[in-house]
Amino acid sequence: MTQDDYKLFTGQENTLAQEDWDTIVEVAEARLESFLCLTALPTDEDGNLPADFKVLLANFICATFTYQGTGAEKVASKSVRNFTISFTNDTAANAFAQIASQYGDIIDRYSECGSTISVEKNARYCCDRF
């Protein structure tokens, strides 16, 4: 992922040195690979990422930049007349959730996570040898 690709897919520019950019991309690729349960990033025979996956990666990096920082929970409050509600929002944890809501079709295409249904096994069938 080049900085030009990033700008093309997100409309955002950054002023990072190339070494810093490469580090950010490396970490984002590893996290995205983990989120999608992949053992390797999808590439063509020339080792290039598909364009739709680049869109996903670029926007994941953009969301990561948006939520960059200490990761501390933020407190938000809303008031109407004499009623106030306060809640916390851990925005760093929601970076992937935001991307998932916008790029679910691409995620479905590349995700290896399988079904979200989990099946409990009884103790007889839980051993590693099965």
**pLDDT surpasses 50 at 8:** yes
Structure tokens at 94: 């929601």
Query: How far is CA 52 from each of CA 48, 73, 78, 106, rounded to the nearest angstrom?
Result: 12, 32, 38, 7
Residue among 95, 97, 64, 91 at smallest CA distance from 75: 91
Count CA within 13 A, CB hemisphere, residue 29. Answer: 15
Model confidence pLDDT, tens digit, residues 65-106? 876 654 555 556 666 666 666 555 555 456 777 788 888 899
Tell me if residue 62 falls in helix, strand or coil: helix
In this prediction the pTM is 0.69
